[in-house]
Structure 1
Amino acid sequence: MDALRPVALATQPPPTSMDADGLLTRLGGFFAARSDTDVWLVGGAVRDAILGREIHDIDLAVAGDSEPIGRAVADYLGGTAVPVEAWNVTRVALPPANDSAAPFIIDVSGYCGSFEDDLRARDFTVNAIALPLRCWDSDERIESILDPLNGRADMVRRILRATGDDVFRNDPGRMLRGVRLAKSLDFRMTPETAQAVRRDAHLLERIAPERVRDEFMAILAADGARAQLEILDRLGLLCRVIPELEAARNCEQPRAHHYWDVLGHLLHCVEYAEEITAGRRNSAIYTMAPWTAVEDAYFSEAIGDGHNRRTVLKLAALLHDIAKPQTRGPDENGRIRFLGHSEQGAEVVETLLPKLRVAGRTTSLVSAMVLHHLRPSQLREGDQMPSRRAIYRYYRDVGDAAVDTLYLAMADFLAARGPELSPERWNNYARMIATVLEAGATPQAGDDGPRGLVNGHDLMDTLHMEPGPRVGALLERLREAQAVGEVSNREEALSLAARLLDDDAIEVG
């Protein structure tokens, strides 16, 4: 296709918000002035417009090379065009409306041959629908829709149907996308489509890990994640994404402490992690979980791959007992135990998540949560609330994952007993977690511990110590002592330091 000729239309300012309808109106006017260019609005935008949903994606289709049209759109709207030559797609990124918003994306794809054939080669019938862009804001909009596979009828029936038998063989990533799309639209996958997914599930290994990661994390991020993970499992996809979960199936746990086998426990733990971070106040169970605007803001923080702490918590919930099958065995009294599963589970996470190209920070956070997920339950003795020393050491050792791990521990507690949960025991446990959370909000249990009484130079000058790791170990003991109220000024700190040295009570780890 020849490059677009200049037209007498002024360059438009970038949109002030993600107003897809306004963008399409402007683009329709832009292309209406170009009688030499047929541009189709395709896929999700048409589908969502028909369903009365907010439009989040704009996909355009043009005959031939996508790049000239893509660059023209970028110039017109003040965006940036990035050609992806392997796919004959040009991605146009428009500046975000504000500092916290993401760029708005318009994908322009080129096709060869018949446009109807191009639609038939798409993934699902509800996406194989198109509208001439010039008709977007006209009275002809409905009559101009091209729908060769009756996608609108499938919308009425609220079903998700593959466009053909080879859809997933041509692009196995569509299988994960289908599960996500069915959830997003509240549609049901047809039996024939589900059967095709099960048949072709083994092909998922052909897909780039980044794409598998993005689809899987999007499924995990949505509400109702447990149900979607169970659908993935029934379709044979879950253990294609995380093969280590297969050993958890039918891995029984002591009935006195667990209602489900390991896989069932992990799936329900995802559900409980979602519920206790949803701020639900209309449930007798979830109302007990500590939750304020502070926790809501904390779990809304984006930390990696575009996902927030709430989604990463659900990922940790899915993986926290991943090493139980390999550590299952009897102790000296014949009781089934899973000794070392936290430590081995953290090692599994550090191998598994990089294979999926999960961000380093996310991997580290999940690994820390898996490693320490039993720690909150070990903070108290009997019915006593945790001591200030135990809380200080918890925050010191667990660091950035401390708050997240407390919520993972609550989800783990709920998922252990399931429908046999004791409300009284849960209330006591939630109160204990709330106590630890409240203490963690004070400087005494901060990331670096209290400061200001003495420093390393004070210790070396006053106690005639040589530089080395013993100075750091002694400083840590003094920070702990300050945190629990044993010392409150410089003189008391130096006196305690001298006694510790005299008693040879400082160990260097």
Structure 2
Amino acid sequence: MSAEKLVSQEQVSRLLPLPLRTALTALRRELPAAAPELYLVGGTLRDLLLGREVHDIDLCVPRAAVAFARALAERAGAAFVCLDEGEDVARVVLPAGPEVDIAAFRGATVTIEQDLQLRDFTLNALALDLAAFLDGDTDRALACIDPCGAQADIAARVIRPTHEHAFAADPLRMLRAYRLAATLDCGLAPETRALVRRDFSLIVRSAGERVASELNALLLSSHASSAIQCMAEDGLLFAVIPELALGRDVSQPRAFHHLNVLEHNLEALKQAELLVARPGAFFPDCAPPLQDWLAAADAVLVLKWAALLHDVGKPAARQERQGRLTFYQHEQAGVQLVRELAQRLRWSTRHSERVCRLVALHMRPYQLLHAARSSGGLSLRACIRAVQAVDEDLPGLLLLCQADTLAGRGERRPADLEAQVAWIADRLLQVRAERVMPVQTAPPLLTGHDLMDRLGLQPGPLFKKILGAVALARMEGGIATRREALALAREMAAAANREGGA
């Protein structure tokens, strides 16, 4: 057992809020049998040694963790949450401060050293005995309990399982390895990757929600693309997202692409990651609205999922026509695959719809560019339609399009394509700000009640068509008053009536 690393009393004092220290000290005095030993463990201690900000506190007791947590919550005036009574794990939520998770020794272990040896990775297999600290012995530093060589691996920034069967015991640990590599900026030990290659098929045992949680945390890191690349090399990526595996051997026309479909999806994720960090680098004239969008909840996650999956439908849509490879309607094929993935990973409806919308529309900016080249300009109506189609996630679509552009290199690819995407982005964001948003946020000129009361129409598909046309005409500047809106509605109702559509 190694105990060379010392943690100062001051570090522990800063980590444990005074109300928590007071409650823990009181409990140890009042209920000595309930907490003969008390340890600070796991990720809390790891992050403390790495100099990272600690968000949560992990404590460990030999037994009766749920009862101890309940007593601690009562003493500290905090909320108590039983996380898993069978595994003897509970949480204490302080009124102001970090969450405190308390667990008992694992399985049949009877010492903290035995417990640590059953944890997932060596850098999490650390403990600090809090007894001396809480009992008022403030004259000495505290030694880490380290039976697995955690401190050496923390210093080397390497992720290594505590034992050969760690992944078989809980297959989700494989995903956690890559997530920790991404979030802690660490590398995977060669034996870690070898064990993943051996055991990756076991990941199907893990619940979809747990898989999604690890993948989301990984994607939110600034090193997600390199971790995902390693997952692909080791086979784990295709065990959790088999849809991506379909693109491994699907080549693309060399005129616009230098990578196969899988490689292109992975490269698009890498470029999206760079755009998240520096959106102004490729959008010099419209970076602020992109930054605002990226700062909103879940926006980065939506963008990175969309980048990784944007061309996932190409293998299903691939056709060869007169010696040419085509992928017509691959966006729609991709949306279907993303919906299946979303169901498997138990995504929320909102998250699923946002990612699907970006995948479905990721070609729209290119289509607008093509129209602008063909006609010598870009119509206001086409811009409004595009803005309306993607709605709140227009900035995300533009970032995705640029990531897609940066991920493609081909013989006939325009050298200034990134600048062209930036131009279309500037135009669409301007239309949204000056034309679409003012109408969307203003009181409507007409409502469904007006169509019933003034025009005698009955609710149905024509309602939506008329109200949409009124809003579009208002955005284009063709109408501005209620009277003009009613006139347009009457004209459309009459036309529908003549065609037998009313």
TM-score bracket, normalised by the shorter chain, equals 0.7 to 0.9
Report which of the two has the higher share of helix.
2
Q: Is residue 301 of structure 1 aligned with residue 296 of structure 2?
A: yes
Alignment correspondent of 2:10? none
Normalised to the residue count of structure 1, the TM-score between the two structures is 0.84
Unaligned runs of 5+ in 1: 1-17, 98-102, 303-307
1:388 alignment partner AA? L
Alignment correspondent of 1:429? 421
Moved more, 447-456 or 257-266: 447-456
Do the aligned partners of 1:248 and 1:322 also contact (CA within 8 Å) in 2?
yes
Give percent identity, aligned residues only: 35
Do the aligned partners of 1:65 and 1:110 also contact (CA within 8 Å) in 2?
no
Change (3 A) 1:42 1:459: closer
| Partner SS, residue 330 of structure 1 | strand
Whole-angstrom distance in 2 between the partners of 1:419 and 1:75: 69
Normalised to the residue count of structure 2, the TM-score between the two structures is 0.85
1:117-149 per-residue CA deviation (whole Å, 9 max, x = no partner) reads: 11111112222111111245734334x321112
1:88 alignment partner AA? D
Do the aligned partners of 1:269 and 1:412 also contact (CA within 8 Å) in 2?
yes
| Partner SS, residue 204 of structure 2 | helix
Alignment correspondent of 2:339? 350
Q: Is residue 291 of structure 1 aligned with residue 287 of structure 2?
A: yes
Alignment correspondent of 2:131? 134
Whole-angstrom distance in 1 between the partners of 2:22 and 2:181: 31
Whole-angstrom distance in 2 between the partners of 1:438 and 1:353: 33
1:86 alignment partner AA? G
Alignment correspondent of 1:239? 238
Alignment correspondent of 2:330? 341
| 1:410 aligned to which of 380, 393, 402 | 402
Whole-angstrom distance in 1 between the partners of 2:454 and 2:427: 38
1:359-370, aligned counterparts within 5 Å?
Answer: 359-370=348-359
1:95 alignment partner AA? P
Alignment correspondent of 1:107? 102
Q: Is residue 117 of structure 1 aligned with residue 109 of structure 2?
A: no
1:115-264, aligned counterparts within 5 Å?
Answer: 115-136=112-133, 138-142=138-142, 144-264=143-263
Change (3 A) 1:41 1:445: closer
Following TM superposition, by how much is the alpha carbon of 1:249 offset from its aligned partner in structure 2, in angstroms? 0.9
| Partner SS, residue 378 of structure 1 | helix
Change (3 A) 1:463 1:154: closer
**Count of residue pairs brought into register by the alignment:** 476
| Partner SS, residue 81 of structure 1 | strand
Following TM superposition, by how much is the alpha carbon of 1:322 offset from its aligned partner in structure 2, in angstroms? 1.0
Change (3 A) 1:506 1:450: farther
Change (3 A) 1:159 1:465: closer
1:389-408, aligned counterparts within 5 Å?
Answer: 389-408=381-400
Runs of 4+ in 1 over 6 A off after TM superposition: 418-421, 505-509
Alignment correspondent of 1:322? 312
2:346 alignment partner AA? R
Unaligned runs of 5+ in 2: 1-12
| 2:472 aligned to which of 469, 473, 480 | 480
Following TM superposition, by how much is the alpha carbon of 1:329 offset from its aligned partner in structure 2, in angstroms? 0.6
| 2:436 aligned to which of 432, 440, 444 | 444
Alignment correspondent of 2:8? none
Following TM superposition, by how much is the alpha carbon of 1:80 offset from its aligned partner in structure 2, in angstroms? 2.0
1:157 alignment partner AA? A
1:306-327 per-residue CA deviation (whole Å, 9 max, x = no partner) reads: xx11111100111111111111
| 1:382 aligned to which of 336, 361, 372 | 372
Moved more, 439-448 or 177-186: 439-448
1:248-292 per-residue CA deviation (whole Å, 9 max, x = no partner) reads: 1121111111121111111111122222232455x4xx3537321
Whole-angstrom distance in 2 between the partners of 1:341 and 1:488: 40
| 2:15 aligned to which of 2, 11, 20 | 20
1:78-97, aligned counterparts within 5 Å?
Answer: 78-83=77-82, 84-95=84-95
Change (3 A) 1:288 1:113: same
Alignment correspondent of 1:33? 29
Whole-angstrom distance in 1 between the partners of 2:92 and 2:209: 21
